[in-house]
Chain A
C-alpha cells in the first residue's frame, strides 16, 4: 500500500465516459429536463491538461463535526430527530483502485422529508437541530464515512403524485476535473425507487442498482446506529506508458 501513496500522481487521460450508462440529458419523464437539455451533440475531447488536473482539498478545511449531520447543526446537548444511520464506503476508480484524498459533500432532507431551503414549501416540519449538509475526505484506502439520520421521502411537483424515494445527494471530486460527479444514494428495499422519474432517467436497471446502498449489518453499532455501505466509482485513468511521445508536431 505504501508504494501507492509514495508514487507519483497519475496523470493519464481518463477512460471515455459511457454516456449510455448515465442518464441522457433529455428525459421527458423528468419534466424540468425538457428545457434544460442540450439538443446538439456534445463535442468530444480526449483529456488535455485542463481536464486531467483538478482541485484537491486538504483535511484543514474540515471541522470535527463536518461528517456528523446528527450534531453539526444541533444545539449543544441536542441532536437531530430520526433513524440514526452511518453511511460509509470507498471511492474507487474504474480499475478498482482506491481514490484517496478526495472531497465528498452530502446533502439531504430531514426525517420527515423536509429540506432546510427557502424555496422548499412542503408542509412537513423543519427539524431545528438538523441542517442537512456534511462533508468528508477519503483516506489512503479511499474510505469515507458520515453519520446522519435517514431522510424521509417527499412529494414534488412533477407528475400529479410523484414522490422522491429516500435519498442522499453526493458530490464527489476526483483527482481530475473530468471526474467531477454528482449523484444520489438510495436505500436498499425502498419500493419508491422504482416509481421515481428521476431514478427512471437512468436507462439501465444495473446502473440504477449501483446507486442503492445495502444495509450493512456488520457495521451497525448496537443500540446506536444502523450502517449502509455506498461505494462510488469514478472514471479510471489510462496508463501513461505510451502517452509521452509527441510525434508529427
Chain B
C-alpha cells in the first residue's frame, strides 16, 4: 500500500448570513458596550505615511440592486509596498498603518467607505513588480464562500499595463472591472457580483 498523504481537509465555508454585523461590526449593529470600537473601522492615524485616499463604492447583485447587508474587508501594503504582517519578510511596515480594514455596506444605500492610503508596489512571485492594488474580500447573505478581488488605480496606466495578474485576464474588456474611478482623492470601486459588468473574482 502506498503511504497516506495524511492531510486534513479545510473546514468548508458557509454564508455569513444577513446578521453578520452582530459578529463583525456589533457597534454598527447597535450592540454597544461589548467592544470599544468595531475592529477594522480605522486603518490610519495622524502619523501614517503616504497619500490619503478614500475608497468607496457599492456591491451590486445580478439584478443591479445594491447589496445592503454585505461586509467588506480590505488588505493592502503601506506606502512603501510593505505589509503589516508577521509573514512580511522584506522589511518592517509603517507601524501607523494597519493595512487591514473592515466596513459594512450601509443598510440604507448600500455604500461602503474606507479611509486609507495609496499602497506602494509589491513584487509578484518572479520578482516583477505588481501595480499598486488593494485586495478586497466580500461576504454577505447569499454568498456561500467569501469573494476575493482587487482594486487597481486608474492613474497607474503604465504599471497596470505590466501587472502580471491583469495580464492574465483573457477577455481584455474585463480588466476595467478591477480599476477604480478617480475623482480627487476618492476612488469609486463598484463590485458587480453577476451579469454583463461582472467583476473579475480571484481564486487565491
Which residues on A are within 8 Å of B, measured CB to CB?
A: 8-11, 13, 15-19, 21-25, 27, 30, 32-40, 42-57, 61, 63, 65-66, 72-73, 92-96, 105-107, 115-120, 131-135, 169, 171-172, 175-178, 180-184, 198-199, 201-202, 206-208, 210-211, 232-236, 246, 248-249
Residues of A within 8 A of B8 (CB): 92-96, 233, 236
Residues of B within 8 A of A56 (CB): 85-86
User: Is A37 in contact with B194, judged by CB distance below 8 angstroms?
Assistant: yes
Q: Is B168 an interface residue (CB 8 A)?
A: yes
6 nearest A-B residue pairs (beta carbon): A107-B23, A32-B142, A36-B142, A53-B85, A55-B100, A35-B62
Residues of A within 8 A of B19 (CB): 107, 115, 117, 119-120, 169
User: Is A210 in contact with B12, judged by CB distance below 8 angstroms?
Assistant: yes
User: Is B122 in contact with A169, judged by CB distance below 8 angstroms?
Assistant: no
Q: Is B1 an interface residue (CB 8 A)?
A: no
With A53-B85, A178-B204 in contact, do A233 and B61 touch (Cβ < 8 Å)?
Answer: no
Task: Give CA–CA (A100, B77) in the complex, Å.
Answer: 23
Which residues on B are within 8 Å of A, measured CB to CB?
A: 6-24, 26, 29-31, 33-36, 39, 61-63, 65, 67, 69, 73, 75, 77, 83-90, 98-100, 107, 122-128, 130, 133, 135, 137, 139-148, 150, 165, 168-169, 174, 193-195, 198-204
User: Is A177 in contact with B135, judged by CB distance below 8 angstroms?
Assistant: yes
Residues of B within 8 A of A184 (CB): 14-15, 17
A37-B142, A55-B85, A183-B14 are known; give 16 further A-B pairs, CB within 8 A: A25-B145, A35-B194, A36-B141, A40-B201, A44-B202, A48-B165, A53-B75, A93-B8, A94-B7, A107-B20, A118-B29, A118-B30, A131-B26, A182-B139, A201-B14, A249-B126
Residues of A within 8 A of B31 (CB): 73, 116, 131-133
Task: Give CA–CA (A208, B14) in the complex, Å.
Answer: 10
Within the complex, which residue of B18, B26, B61, B99 is in contact with A35, where a contact is CB–CB below 8 Å?
B61
Nearest CB of chain B from residue A107's CB, rounded to whole Å: 3
Beta-carbon nearest neighbor of B122 in chain A? A49
User: Is A23 in contact with B75, judged by CB distance below 8 angstroms?
Assistant: no
Residues of B within 8 A of A199 (CB): 14
Could you pull out 17 A-B pairs where Cβ atoms are within 8 angstroms?
A11-B89, A13-B125, A24-B144, A43-B202, A45-B165, A49-B88, A50-B133, A54-B87, A55-B75, A63-B35, A65-B34, A118-B107, A169-B19, A180-B146, A208-B12, A211-B12, A246-B127
Residues of A within 8 A of B77 (CB): 50
User: Is B85 in contact with A23, judged by CB distance below 8 angstroms?
Assistant: no
